[in-house]
Amino acid sequence: MGLKHKGYHKAILPNAIRLIGEEVPGFNSCTVGIFVFTGSRDEKPNESGIAHFTEHMLFKGTEKRTSLDISKAIDNVGGILNAYTNKEYTCYYAKVVSDKMDFALEILSDMFLNSIYPKVELEKEKEVIIQEIHMVNDSPDELVHDLLLEALYGKKGLGSFILGSEETVRELDSNDIRRFVDEFYLNERIVIACAGNFEWEKFRNKAEELFSIRESKIINFPRRESDVIPAKINVEKEHLNQVHVAIGFPAISIYDDDKYPLKLLNYILGVGMSSILFQELREISAYVYSTYSSIHLYQDTGFLYIYFATTPDKKGLCMDKIENILQFLKDGNINDEDVKNAKEQIKGYTLLSLDSSDAKFSYNARSELYFNRYIPIEAELEKIYLLRKSDVIDVANKYLDLSKAGIACVEPINE
């Protein structure tokens, strides 16, 4: 079970589904939900978007509830019911006042185990998702992030769009969804989690009653491997005033210890208003309104990226500035105070971000999915605090190479 922690619990059902919970008595709420360790990277290219489409369809009716019944049930207790799909996992969750935990768990189990994917709802939901695809295509700051994954990993796996395309979504039917759930929603890849003000024993008993009936299947889950093939992708759009640019530097997986100095480097580079990117591109040069850096880590790979948006005449100037910033970092021009401040910033942001039942629920479930154990946030922060300036400079030299970067750009049509 890994490191012990007051209030944290774990149990494994006979059918291999894992239950985890963290009791936090001071909260008014608890968040309960289901994580499935499958996402868009596991899809076949001709079924791009099916993981996300499946997530939508679980809200569209069961053997005993219509779609409206599900919505009313959660609204009537003042709760929140939602879901999301990303590259490697899918999450279904409900946040409710503490005395409604078992009620929320029952609704989630009904959706998860008894969805019937009604044809009328399925056809309507296709149109909804196609509108979502158009919305992203009309939002250059979102689109450029999707294109960056394609620029780094090609058109399949991690590089495929989570929403899929209009063509692939239109082709999907209820049999495709049933087969996808059958092949990918495997019990050993399912974690049912709860965090907040609840009683573990009550949660465990209810979850066991509801989910132990789910059949366990032995299926070989496809191996997750990505070819990193950095490319440059430019998309021109009408009615834009700005160029949106994302630069991705191939880095390491979630299991590599370089993630700690890389996180420190990321904060110094582009997190917050005192970061080098924000100061150089916005405060000093006034070239941009928005710029930042961030990190995405997966099971086999990962990347650090820089984003900025500016008018076409300033794009080259921004790229020059960024090249200088990268060299500045690689040359070791940061000082001990920069590193110390970044450590405090990470500590503050991290602890503040976990000040809710849904955040604790998500953090704990992801630890269980990726590491099969509880990882106290204090242990993660301690690893950051042990780092030195030289560690940050080392990862800057290891990974911040513009010649090996993938670059995505969404810009106005060049007239």
CA gap 223, 101 in Å, rounded: 36
User: What CA dihedral angle connects 59, 65, 69 and 74, to 10 degrees?
Assistant: -70
Q: Is 323 noted as a catalytic residue in this protein?
A: no
- Is residue 18 helix, strand or coil? strand
One of 55, 121, 150, 411 is an active-site residue; which one?
Answer: 55
Helix (H) or strand (E) segment spanning residue 412? strand 406-412
Residue 406, Cα to own-chain centre: how many angstroms?
20
Residue among 232, 264, 267, 257 nearest 246 (CA): 232
CA gap 306, 322 in Å, rounded: 9
**Residues paired with 9 in a beta bridge:** 21
**Residues paired with 93 in a beta bridge:** 33, 82
Q: Which two tokens stand for residue 407?
A: 């670059």
2-24 burial, b for 16+ CB within 10 Å, e for fewer? eeebeebbbbebebebbbbbbbb
DSSP string, 177-227: HHHHHHHH--GGGEEEEEEES--HHHHHHHHHHHHTTSPP----PPP----
| Backbone φ and ψ of 332, nearest 5° | 80, 30
> Annotated catalytic sites, by residue?
55
